[in-house]
Amino acid sequence: QKEVEQNSGPLSVPEGAIASLNCTYSDRGSQSFFWYRQYSGKSPELIMSIYSNGDKEDGRFTAQLNKASQYVSLLIRDSQPSDSATYLCAAPSNSNSGYALNFGKGTSLLVTP
DSSP secondary-structure letter at 6? E
Q: How far apart are CA 66 and CA 60, in angstroms?
A: 20
DSSP secondary-structure letter at 96? T
Contact indicator for 106, 38 with CB cutoff of 8 Å? yes
Residue number with CB closer to other proteins (39 or 77): 39
Q: In the beta sheet, which residues pair with residue 12?
A: 110
Residue 99 touches other proteins, criterion: CB under 8 A: yes
β-strands 33-38, 45-50: how paired? Answer: antiparallel
Name which position in 26, 46, 53, 55 contacts other proteins (CB under 8 A): 46
Least distance to other proteins from the beta carbon of 52, Å? 14
Q: How many residues bind other proteins (CB under 8 A)?
A: 23
Q: Give the contact letters, 53-82, x = binds to other proteins (CB under 8 A), - = no.
A: ------------------------------
User: What does the binding site for other proteins look like in residue numbers (CB under 8 A)?
Assistant: 32, 34, 36, 42-46, 49, 88, 92-94, 97-106
